[in-house]
Amino acid sequence: MTDFSTRAVHGVGHQDEEPVSPHTAPIHQTTSFTFPSVRDGVDAFQGSGAYLYTRKANPTIRALERHLAALEAAPVETPEGARAPDFDVDCRFFTTGMAAITAAVLGVGGGGRIVCQGGIYGTTEAMVSTLDRFGVEVAFARVGDLDALEATVTEGAPPRLVYIETPANPLTQVTDIEAAAAIAHAAGARLAVDATFASPALLRPLAWGADLSIHSTTKFIAGHGVVLGGSVSGPAELIEDAIEPMRVRFGGSADPFAAWLTLLGTKTLAIRVDRAAATAEVLAEFLGRHPRVSRVFRPDLSALPAGQLVTGGPMLSFEVEGGGEAALGVVDRLELITLAPTLGNLDTLVQHPWSMSHVVVPEARRIEMGITSGVLRVSVGIEAVADLVADLDRALAG
Ligand SMILES: Cc1ncc(COP(=O)(O)O)c(C=O)c1O
């Protein structure tokens, strides 16, 4: 007979009494797994493929990874017909977008030279800028400029990795992935693409020659502003050889509940992004006509092969006449659109890249990249477009 305290810990076990088949993916909220026998345990450590420890793999996280891999591999419609990656796609999920980016950059680019676009998400630029401390040579090429990318790739030692972001944060410049892949591959480098601003609903880089597709799943993929995460997808072999060890050994593995929440978000990704993208078009037109707005930034679809970016997507930026104080005044007067330093939520969000998301980028570089103090970035949500126009109109009227 066991003591009460022992019984409290062990109970009667928790295995399902009969096989169950849940309609939605269950959450395997556990750090480790047990084995039918000690031999099975030994085999698991020696490569049998059985789950053993959640930092390495977990069924809920695997369910999300398989789902994201299937989205990244979905055929893309183009006027010349459908195109899709001609390899098996796999994916690894990380705690954050930055953990995913770090794993990709070091896992594929470490030990050599990296060419990265400048004028992209501030923390990515800040992270890549610190890599020289770890013996990685880094060169930047202006975002959205293929000639600058090619010149930077060819002028120094051949890089191991070319890293681009399209559409770029915050000014939505686009880069033709097919052309960037040709530049990278001609130099013997791999191409990694952060496609967070578009989500896989609108942009699937692997179909256009990229070796790795990266997302901050925190944003449109999870979609509700409740869970951080990041994904790296690519050919199964590259993911297994270069990305998996980065996660297991450097420890960016996410929590099963985070994976489960993210998986839930993916179910509505297509309709959320389509609705927000249609609204963003209307808002961009409205802002483009407004006398207090000097510039509107939207992805230039004409600079890309047809079908690469399906629509302009849910992100836009605009420059308020009068600089930083004028822009902050507009934010203060908004009532519906919320000031929040993220993107990809259900509600429409605004932030001021100059003093917020891109403050980690040196001021001179922000100016060089066109990120002026008057720029506001908007992540469009799924509210009614008329209410958003009215809010912007009121705020801009001062
Ligand atoms: C384009 C882009 N990539 C990566 C990240 C980093 O993602 P996370 O915040 O999930 O680490 C962000 C965050 O805003 C982003 O905008």
CATH topology of domain 4-266: Aspartate Aminotransferase; domain 2 (3.40.640)
CA 48 to CA 54: how far, in whole Å? Answer: 16
Instruction: Quick: pLDDT tens for 29-87.
Output: 999 999 999 999 999 999 999 999 999 999 999 999 999 999 999 999 999 999 999 99
Locate the ligand 1 atom nearest the alpha carbon of residue 101 and give its number: 4
Measured from the CA of 196, which atom of ligand 1 is nearest? 1
Query: Which of 196, 315, 379 is the pocket-test mutation for ligand 1 (most atoms within 8 Å of CB)?
Result: 196
Beta-carbon neighbour count of residue 391 at 10 Å?
18
Q: Rounded to the nearest whole angstrom, what is the distance from the C-alpha of residue 12 to the centroid of ligand 1?
A: 44
CB atoms within 10 A of CB 290: 17
Q: For residue 100, how far is its CA from the centre of ligand 1 (angstroms)?
A: 10
pLDDT tens for 237-292 read: 999 999 999 999 999 999 999 999 999 999 999 999 999 999 999 999 999 999 99
Q: What is the H or E stretch that residue 320 is in?
A: strand 315-320
Q: Does the pLDDT value for residue 121 go beyond 90?
A: yes
Residue 183 token pair: 């530049």
What is the whole-number distance in angstroms between the Cα of residue 278 and the centre of ligand 1? Answer: 23
CB 61 within 8 A of CB 93: yes
**Residue 18 in this model has a pLDDT that exceeds 80:** no
Distance (Å) from CA 182 to ligand 1 centroid = 26
Token code pair at residue 210? 């990229």
DSSP β-bridge partners for residue 212 = 192
From the CB of 381, is ligand 1 less than 6 Å away?
no
Give the CA dihedral 57, 60, 64, 69, nearest 10 degrees. Answer: 40
Distance, in Å, from the CA atom of 210 to the CA atom of 165, rounded to the nearest integer, reads 12
> Does residue 379's CB lie within 6 angstroms of at least one atom of ligand 1?
no
Distance 19 CA to ligand 1 centre (A): 40
Q: What pLDDT, in 10s, does the model give residues 53-65? A: 999 999 999 999 9
CATH 3.40.640.10 domain extents, the chain = 4-266
Residues of the chain with CATH 3.90.1150.10: 269-397
- pLDDT category of residue 13 using cuts at 50, 70 and 90: confident
Tell the residue nearest (CA) to atom 9 of ligand 1: 97
Domain 269-397: state its class: alpha beta
pTM of the model: 0.97
The verdict on whether omega for the bond into residue 314 sits within 30 degrees of 0, i.e. cis, is no
Q: How far is the CA of 18 from the centre of ligand 1 (A)?
A: 43
